[in-house]
Amino acid sequence: MTTHAMRALASAIALTLCTALGAATQERPAPAAPSSDLDRAQAAFQAGRHAEALASARRAADAAPTSVRALTARAGMAEFMGEFDEAQTFYDRAAGLAPDDAETIYRTASFTVRVGEYDRALTQLDRLLALHPRHVRWLFQWAPTRFQAALLRDHPSLERIVQIKLDILTEKGDLEQARRLARAHAIVQPGQNYCAQARARAGAERDEVFKAFRLATLGQPDAADCIWWYGQWLSDEGYVRLGRLMVIEGSRATASPANKESGARYVRIRLGGNREVPKRAEQLFLIARQRYLRDGDINGASRLFDESIRLAPAFARPYNYRAMIAADLGDREGAMAWLQRALRADPDSWRTHRNLGRLFETLERYPEAEMHLRKTVQLFGDDAGGRLALARVLYAQGKYDDFAKEARAAVAFLANWRAPVPEVRDFLAKFDRWGPGAALPPAPDPHVIMGWNYD
C-alpha cells in the first residue's frame, strides 16, 4: 500500500481504536439513589433508561398495590413501552381505587384512544366532564363561542376533553363534526392562516409541527395542499391511519384531477391502500420502532413488531422493520425473508420494493435488485434516491446506457430540489469522458420530498 493509503489507514486505526476502546471502557454512570422505586422509575425515565424505568415502576406497584400513584405510574410506563395489556390492567386498578380522580380518568381515556377503543373513551370523557360543577358543564355545553376560550383556560381539564374528542372524531373520519367542535370551543379562530403557521414550523419539534398542522386541518377545510402535507408528514412519522385520512381529505378538497389521482396513488403505494390497520397495531408499530431506533431494544421491539403483524397481517411496515433488525444482527437471509413476507402482505408497497432492491444490491444479486428497483421507480417516479440505486445496479451489470439515462434523470430531478448530488455529477462527467470505470457509481439517497423519507 502506498503512502496516502497508509496515512489514511493510520488515521482510521487511530479513530477506530479511540472510538472502540472508548466505548468498551466507558464507565457506567453511577446510579442515582432515589428514595423509592417510584422515584427510581421517574429518574430512569428522565435519563432515557426506559426499560429500567418500567422495571422500577413494576416493583413500585407490586410493593404498593393500593397506591393510585404507583398503579398509574406503572400503567403509564407500560403504555409508553407498548405493553398495552399491562397498561390496561393497571389503569383499571387505579380507576377502581379512585373512580373520581380526574387525572386517572383522563389518562385512562387517553390510553383508550391510543388503542382505538373510541366509544369507551367517550364514556370516560363523560365521566370526566361530570366531575365539574353544574354551571361549568352548562357553560361548556351552551355558552357562546366567545366565552369558550376563557372557560377552557380556566378549566384545563375541559380543554383536554375537547382535544380528545377532536382526536376521536378525526380518527373516526368525521372531520366535519371535528371542525364544528373545534370552532364551537374556539380551538380554531376564523380568519387565521394556520397553514402558513404550520409551514413556518417546518423543522421544529415534532409536537409543534403536529399541533400546527392539526389546527390547519381543523381551521382551514379548503387548504387542500396543507391537509395533504399533513398527511404526508404523518406518513413519515408512522401514523399511517391518520395519514391516510388526511391524504384522502386533501385529495377530496383539491380541484386538480391530477392531484386527486396522485393522492390515490400515494395511499396505495405508501399507506397500504385500503388494507385494514387497527389502531392498536399501528401504535404497537410506532412504539416498537422507538424501542428499536431510540433504545436499541431489539428483543422488546421485535416482540411488538410481531404483535403488530399479528393484528394487521397486511401492514407492510413492521415486516420491513423486522428485516432491518435481521440485517442489523448480520442475518441477511432473514432480512430477505421478512421483506418477501412484506411483499406478499402488500405487493404495492413502494418501500418494500425499495428495501428489497437495496438488499439484493448489497448481496450483489443485481438482476433481482434491478427488478425491484425498477418497480420502485415505476411506483414512484420522483424517487430520485431509488433511481440512483437503480442506476448503480445497472452499472454493475454493464448496462451503461441505461445507467446513464437513469442517473441523469435523477440528477436533473434533484437539481430542481436544490439537492445537487455533486458526487454523482462528477461520476457522470468522468463516465462521459472516459467510459466505464472500475468503481460503482455513488447512490446517495437525499431526503427531498416530505412523506417519502421514513417509515
Cβ-based nearer residue to other proteins, 22 or 203 = 22
Q: How far is the CB of 9 from other proteins (least distance, A)?
A: 5
Answer for which of 18, 47, 130, 412 binds other proteins (CB under 8 A) is 18
Contact flag: residue 298 with other proteins (CB under 8 A): yes
Contact flag: residue 293 with other proteins (CB under 8 A): no
Give me the residue label for grid cell 455513488: 442
Q: Residue 360 and residue 364: Cα distance in Å, rounded?
A: 6
Cβ-based nearer residue to other proteins, 7 or 180 = 7
440 in Cβ contact with 395 (< 8 Å): yes
Strands (E), 215-270: none
Contact flag: residue 422 with other proteins (CB under 8 A): no
Answer for which of 19, 189, 299, 378 binds other proteins (CB under 8 A) is 19
Contact flag: residue 9 with other proteins (CB under 8 A): yes
- Using CB under 8 A as the binding criterion, the count of chain residues that bind other proteins stands at 39
- Binders in 301-330 for other proteins, by CB under 8 A: 327-330
Give me the residue label for grid cell 425473508: 337
Contact flag: residue 33 with other proteins (CB under 8 A): no
User: Would the CA dihedral through 42, 300, 320, 263 be positive or negative?
Assistant: negative
Answer for which of 49, 173, 437, 443 binds other proteins (CB under 8 A) is 437
Burial level of 421, CB count in 10 A (0-12/13-18/19+)?
Answer: buried
Q: How far is the CB of 331 from other proteins (least distance, A)?
A: 9
Contact flag: residue 429 with other proteins (CB under 8 A): no
| Spacing of C-alpha 128 from chain mean position | 30
Q: Residue 228 and residue 247: Cα distance in Å, rounded?
A: 5
Q: Residue 302 and residue 299: Cα distance in Å, rounded?
A: 5
Compute CA distances 362 → 316, 369, 384, whole Å.
Answer: 22, 9, 19
Contact flag: residue 131 with other proteins (CB under 8 A): no
Answer for which of 10, 130, 202, 293 binds other proteins (CB under 8 A) is 10
Cβ-based nearer residue to other proteins, 257 or 330 = 330
Contact flag: residue 1 with other proteins (CB under 8 A): yes
Contact flag: residue 12 with other proteins (CB under 8 A): yes
Contact flag: residue 14 with other proteins (CB under 8 A): yes
| Spacing of C-alpha 445 from chain mean position | 19
Q: Residue 246 and residue 240: Cα distance in Å, rounded?
A: 10
Contact flag: residue 24 with other proteins (CB under 8 A): yes
Contact flag: residue 439 with other proteins (CB under 8 A): yes
| Spacing of C-alpha 23 from chain mean position | 30
Burial level of 23, CB count in 10 A (0-12/13-18/19+)?
Answer: exposed
Q: How far is the CB of 435 from other proteins (least distance, A)?
A: 7
Q: Is 183 helix (H, G, I), strand (E, B) or coil?
A: helix
Q: Residue 319 and residue 302: Cα distance in Å, rounded?
A: 10
Contact flag: residue 258 with other proteins (CB under 8 A): no
Answer for which of 99, 420, 422, 436 binds other proteins (CB under 8 A) is 436
Answer for which of 17, 32, 131, 293 binds other proteins (CB under 8 A) is 17
Q: How far is the CB of 149 from other proteins (least distance, A)?
A: 49
Amino acid at 431: F
Cβ-based nearer residue to other proteins, 19 or 378 = 19
Q: How far is the CB of 199 from other proteins (least distance, A)?
A: 33
Q: How far is the CB of 21 from other proteins (least distance, A)?
A: 4
Q: How far is the CB of 304 from other proteins (least distance, A)?
A: 18
37 in Cβ contact with 56 (< 8 Å): yes
Compute CA distances 195 → 209, 220, 230, 244, 330, whole Å.
Answer: 11, 8, 10, 19, 44
Q: Which residues bind other proteins (CB under 8 A)?
A: 1-26, 296, 298, 327-330, 430, 434-439
